[in-house]
Amino acid sequence: MLRIECPWCGVRNEDEFSYGGDAAVDRPSDEGSPDEWYDYVYTRNNSAGKHTEHWQHVNGCRAWVIVVRDTVTHKIYSTVPASPNLPTGKAGVDQT
Amino acid sequence: MTQKFRTTDGGLIDRNRPISFTFDGKSYQGYEGDTLASALLANGVHLLGRSFKYHRPRGILAAGSEEPNAMVELRTGARKEPNTRATTIELFDGLVAKSQNCWPSLSFDIMAINNLFSPLLSAGFYYKTFMWPVSFWTNVYEHIIRRAAGLGTAPTEADPDHYEQCHEHCDVLVVGAGPAGLMAAQAAADKGARVIIADEHVLLGGSLNSEDLTVSGKPGNDWAAAQVAKLSAMDNVHIFTRTTVFGYYDHNTVAAIEKVSDHVAVPAPGKPRQRMWIFYPKQVVIAAGATERPLIFGNNDIPGIMLAAAVRTYTNQYGVKPGSRAIVVTNNSDAYRTAIDLHGAGVTVVAVVDSRTHPDAPLAAELASLSIELITGKTVGAAGGGQRVAYALLVSTQGDTEEPQRIDCDLIASSGGWNPNLHLHSQSGAKPVYNEAIFSFVPGQSRQAEVCVGAANGSFGLQECLDQGLAAGAEAAKLAGFKGKNKKPPKAGDDGDYSIEALWISPTPYNKSYKQFVDQQNDVKVSDVNLAAQEGYDSVELLKRYTTQGMATDQGKTSNVNALAILAGQRGEPIPDVGITTFRPPYVPVAMGVFAGHTVGHEFMPVRHTAIHDWNKKQGAVFIEAGLWLRARYYPQSPSDTMTDCYIRETNNTRNNVAMIDVSTLGKIDIQGPDAAEFLNRLYINNWLKLPIGKVRYGVMLREDGMVFDDGTTSRLGENHYFMTTTTANAAPVLSHMEYYHQTVWPDLDVVFCSVTEQWTGIAVAGPNSRKLLKKVIDIDLDNAAFPFMAVGECHMNKIPARLFRISFSGELAYEVNVPADYGEQAWLELLEAGKEMGVAPYGTEPLGTMRIEKGHVAGSELDGRTTALDLGLEGLSNRSKHFIGKHNSARPAMLAEGRLQVVGLKSLEPGRNLRVGAHLVDDKVTLESVSQSQGHVSATTFSPSLGCSIALGLLKDGTARHGEQIDAVFPLDDEKIRVEICHPVFIDPKGELVRA
Ligand SMILES: [Zn+2]
């Protein structure tokens, strides 16, 4: 059971969140080439180690957060808001 | 006298409270405090079941949850529980248990003939024997295996009891309430930490209850009881008895099972049978003790051959004499205590057989003082006897071939040393390491916030257990943020030093071949391990799977280390090089019921009702599940009304008159802000920047991969105010999708939105008379010019504030009225009342589906995640000069290439024969057997009342260009083949004149 510290709600169980995929991929602009758009959707690093990923606190405050998680140990290094515009008390939570 | 094998006094049972129970139909008595195993032993019953493969007689090996053999079917009927360990069942009045895996009876078991054919059942026998011929798989082998293998039988009735799940947070979790655990809990609690201490047993104290030990000058069990009383009185300590911690998961999450009612025949009213606990401790102290491993010799599975410490437990804790003439065989110092305790209980101990040539002098002297013979440098090479051990044959550990020494006995207490219980440590991600001093594995580097202490840490002395427990409890509290001075540990009475020399397999008498069991529950022998290694399955993980060693319900608690030592011997390598398999949860078998908890039957998922639900129910509507919602499917008017009767009637009433349907389940999202239009423009493939206030537009959303995600209408209610509807199924995913883009991709857009699905009741009023009906109740001008197709407006319906949309899913002149959900039922009733004179009637989702197929509206069965807007005939809506989600990937060459499945209409050319969803579309040359040449499939079907024939929508290769052709719709499961005509998917009113009328 992962325990994710939502920047707004505090530490919550994984069941309250839904996984939203790799947060390290950059979404191309409308002028992006077909290859860039292909990579954005289909090409992923299958990294053993730190992985930056999106989660949504879907059964909570519904915020999307960026989690840095170790894919080998499941250790979570940090959880920060995905949106710079949503006000929080803190700038993100360091879970180290 | 019953209980012939009870000691005259002593033990922690209550001799004033006799308990009656039956085993295999025979009545016995035991005492409160007994387990089923101890009570059977007290009655001289050693034969409890037959083994898994060879149906050999099996008895009781151990005294706890590590027991591989003594498994019984507990209780009867719906509460029957197979494969329950007699060693962990607390005795209760009226307990009924039955032996398993024997037929026709326990003492005469026909399948025991497998014992003679054992060469056929060696390691990997499934893989080798059941290879071919293929026809034998289901006809022959499966029957043989099902009959011969397997243990107990599952109950056939539903479990009448309920199970709970609970969550609990604490600073320090202590696993195990033996000497180390009790000290750890005390030390942590003294510093003010919130402590949970959990133990499998109802009587806390661990080895203090089963061994002859003293602490602070008091008998161990008295000291433990006082310690428990002290902890119970503390507000910050929560003691869980009958609770086995079975899993250590990520982020220091720990799961345990509390056996709330397993010690009674029927749970008390309101009590669950079992409760699953999820603990969230900051720190964990694992004081889970150790498990003794048996010595491996010929016929080491005969009933009456037991673990040495288990014999002490039965003698000391339960006041049971597990035999009359015992020998103790060991490779270590610990088992000497078994001889001493048995002697004290009045059992004749014929000899202690120590494989070591230099045993500990004080122990040898103690045996001498009790006149117990000590034989050194020898071990038991094989045992003999049928359903109870009768003798042991002693051989020199050097494996010479001289005449073995025979000793007659009815109990062999065997000890091959101790294995720390590392299951939780290993589950937490840590890697145990091999320790040469104890010839076993000990905890490695911690990976989570856990520490092992006492016997679980390979420290078997009582003083070490107390010291380590105290230190670890204090440290855990400190790490959890609590301060305070450490106290001094109590003084343990001398319990000697542990010493051991390795002996993994005993030589056999005359080097003859005997069955030497490693894993008794799965009947895995030394020869199986050797064979696996010879055949190349010589890594621990492969060995386990090839021989099934360690894969039974006991997970090899008494066999794992022995197995890998034997494997190491075969490979000629040291044990640490061979390694150890990863322990996986659960530590003990856990009933499925406890994982389900209360989420069974109707509680599996919540059910959502619309405001019209009660009315629908009163009308006798037939419901259908749509996600979590219950929707009215159709409305029978008489008991003889079939679904077909209903949907034809309801469709006709809509097409010819006026009808109403509850559409409240559609997802509804309120969107506001200066950038709302821009946001919509990026979400949908079509244009949104120029939608006027008061207008509705149909929109299509794609996923990033270019496939269609959802469709629905969005209305512009004000300058910066929009109202979106989604399909019922996608209401939640669409909201998450919007939140994703708004928060992660376009946080610069000034827009806010939220779900208002449950705030509004939606009622579609459809049919040529819908305007006439609504004019009676709506306070705005509904003439076609004032309120045309795709108009939206705020209004009142009678006195209810409402929004009116002129949209149509049926293809008829139609409106949708939205009112606040609290007015939902009232609005529905007022509309029915107003339309009474016109013959208004409700319609369900079945006629809704009929009309959408007639109109060629694509829905979930066409929006199957594999279709693009082009495939669905919706590409015309898109505006590729702007940016939208999925724009680029929907234009990849493969998405535009020939050969894609495209939506088409299909008409049955065979009157009276109805098309079927899932039927394949194939050329007429294709036979029913070769549907791999399928060109597509039927996605939705109905009998069309308007056309008078069976029609369908389908997805067909290049379908758009094939209108007018004929093709076969085949359904091989029913040997069915129907000729159909391919046509445009819009069957009626292709120009859409009705909706604009
Ligand atoms: Zn949150």
Across all residues in chain B, what is the average pLDDT? Answer: 94
Judge contact between B866 and B707, C-beta under 8 A: yes
What is this structure's pTM?
Answer: 0.90
Q: Which of B315, B323, B383 is nearest to B353 (CA)?
A: B383
The answer to whether the Cα torsion of A70, A76, A78, A83 is positive or negative is positive
Is B420 in a helix, a strand, or coil?
strand
**Rounded average pLDDT over B22-43:** 97
Q: Write the pLDDT tens digit of every residue in B165-196.
A: 999 999 999 999 999 999 999 999 999 999 99
CA of A45 vs chain B CAs: smallest distance (Å) = 18
Q: How far, in Å, are B431, B523, B568 from residue B580 at the CA level?
A: 9, 20, 11
How many residues does this entry show for chain B? 997
Half-sphere exposure of B593 (CA within 13 A, CB side): 16
B745 vs A84: CB contact, 8 Å cut-off?
no
CA distance B730 to B759: 17
- The whole domain housing A9 covers 3-94
Given the DSSP bridges, would you call strands B629-634 and B659-662 parallel, antiparallel or unpaired? unpaired
Q: What is the pLDDT of residue A84?
A: 75
More confident residue, B113 or B97: B97
Q: What is the pLDDT of residue B560?
A: 94
Q: Write the pLDDT tens digit of every residue in B789-808.
A: 999 999 999 999 999 999 99
pLDDT above 70 covers a percentage of chain B that reads 94
Residue B668 has pLDDT above 80, yes or no: yes
A58 vs B736: CB contact, 8 Å cut-off?
yes
CATH architecture label of B294-416: 3-Layer(bba) Sandwich (3.50)
Peptide bond into B586 cis (omega under 30): yes
Q: Which of B620, B723, B728, B621 is nearest to B665 (CA)?
A: B728
Q: Write the pLDDT tens digit of every residue in A53-91.
A: 999 999 999 999 999 999 999 999 999 999 877 665 444
CATH number at residue A70: 3.30.2270.10
Chosen for mutation from B168, B739, B742 (greatest number of chain A CBs closer than 10 Å) is B739
| B280 contacts in chain A (CB < 8 Å) | 3
Gap from CA of A5 to ligand 1 centroid (Å): 8
Chain A contact present for B169, CB below 8 A? no
Gap from CA of A10 to ligand 1 centroid (Å): 7
Q: Position B578: which residue type?
A: V
Q: What is the pLDDT of residue B404?
A: 92
CA distance B869 to B960: 13
CA distance B106 to B23: 11
Q: What is the pLDDT of residue B191?
A: 97
Q: What is the pLDDT of residue B389?
A: 98
- A contact set with B (CB within 8 A): 1-3, 18, 20, 23, 27-28, 30, 32, 34, 37-38, 40-42, 54, 56, 58, 62-64, 73-74, 76, 81-86
Q: What is the pLDDT of residue B928?
A: 59
Gap from CA of A58 to ligand 1 centroid (Å): 8
CA distance B691 to B302: 86
Q: Could you say which of B250, B889, B892 has the minimum Cβ distance to residue A1?
A: B250
CA B749 to chain centre: 43
Q: Write the pLDDT tens digit of every residue in B300-353.
A: 999 999 999 999 999 999 999 999 999 999 999 999 999 999 999 999 999 999
Token couple for B808: 């149509």
- Residue B531 pLDDT grade (very low, low, confident, very high; cuts 50, 70, 90): very high
CA distance B537 to B904: 56
More confident residue, B107 or B569: B569
CA distance B833 to B829: 6
Gap from CA of A14 to ligand 1 centroid (Å): 11
Picking from B403-417, B446-460, B799-813, B921-935, which range would have the lowest pLDDT averaged per residue?
Answer: B921-935
**Rounded average pLDDT over B24-31:** 96
- Give the right CATH number for B514-578 from 2.40.50, 1.10.10, 2.40.128, 1.20.1250: 1.10.10
Chain A contact present for B513, CB below 8 A? no
- Residue B152 pLDDT grade (very low, low, confident, very high; cuts 50, 70, 90): confident
Q: What is the pLDDT of residue B931?
A: 57
Peptide bond into B104 cis (omega under 30): yes
CA distance A62 to B738: 11
- Residue B141 pLDDT grade (very low, low, confident, very high; cuts 50, 70, 90): low
A83 vs B705: CB contact, 8 Å cut-off?
no
Q: Write the pLDDT tens digit of every residue in B976-996.
A: 999 999 999 999 999 999 999
Q: What is the pLDDT of residue A91?
A: 47
pLDDT above 70 covers a percentage of chain A that reads 88
Chain A contact present for B429, CB below 8 A? yes
- Are both B163-290+420-479 and B514-578 of the same fold? no
Q: Write the pLDDT tens digit of every residue in B893-942.
A: 999 999 999 999 999 999 989 999 999 999 877 665 665 688 999 999 99
CATH architecture label of B1-155: Roll (3.10)
Q: Which of A2, A11, A96 is nearest to A60 (CA)?
A: A11
Residue B788 has pLDDT above 80, yes or no: yes
Domain boundaries, chain B: 1-155, 163-290+420-479, 294-416, 514-578, 613-665+759-851, 667-755, 898-983
Judge contact between B673 and B752, C-beta under 8 A: yes
B739 vs A64: CB contact, 8 Å cut-off?
yes
Judge contact between B602 and B814, C-beta under 8 A: no
Q: Write the pLDDT tens digit of every residue in B831-861.
A: 999 999 999 999 999 999 999 999 999 999 9
The CATH superfamily holding the domain B163-290+420-479 is: FAD/NAD(P)-binding domain (3.50.50.60)
- Strand segments, DSSP code E, in B827-917 are 841-842, 901-908
**Rounded average pLDDT over A1-29:** 94
Domain count, chain A: 1
CA distance B547 to B523: 9
Q: What is the pLDDT of residue A92?
A: 47
- Strand partners of residue B661: B764
**Rounded average pLDDT over B859-872:** 96
Q: What is the pLDDT of residue B118?
A: 65
Q: Could you say which of A1, A76, A84 has the minimum Cβ distance to residue B249?
A: A1
Q: Which of A81, A27, A2, A18 is nearest to A55 (CA)?
A: A18
Judge contact between B790 and B807, C-beta under 8 A: yes
Gap from CA of A56 to ligand 1 centroid (Å): 8
> What is the rounded end-to-end Cα distance, in angstroms, of chain A?
17
- Nearby residues of B558 by Cβ (< 8 Å), 6 or more positions away: B61, B62, B66, B68, B291, B292, B293, B294, B307, B520
- Give the right CATH number for B613-665+759-851 from 3.40.50.1820, 3.20.20.70, 3.30.1360.120, 3.60.20.10: 3.30.1360.120
Could you tell me which chain B residue has the CA closest to the CA of A58? Answer: B736
- Give the right CATH number for B898-983 from 3.30.70.360, 2.40.30.110, 2.60.120.10, 3.40.50.12780: 2.40.30.110
- Residue B251 pLDDT grade (very low, low, confident, very high; cuts 50, 70, 90): very high
Token couple for B474: 């204090």
**DSSP 8-state symbol, B475:** H
Report DSSP letters for B891-960, one per residue.
GSHHHHSTT-EEEEEEEESSTT----TTPEEE-TTS-GGGGGG--EEEEEEEEETTTTEEEEEEEEETGG
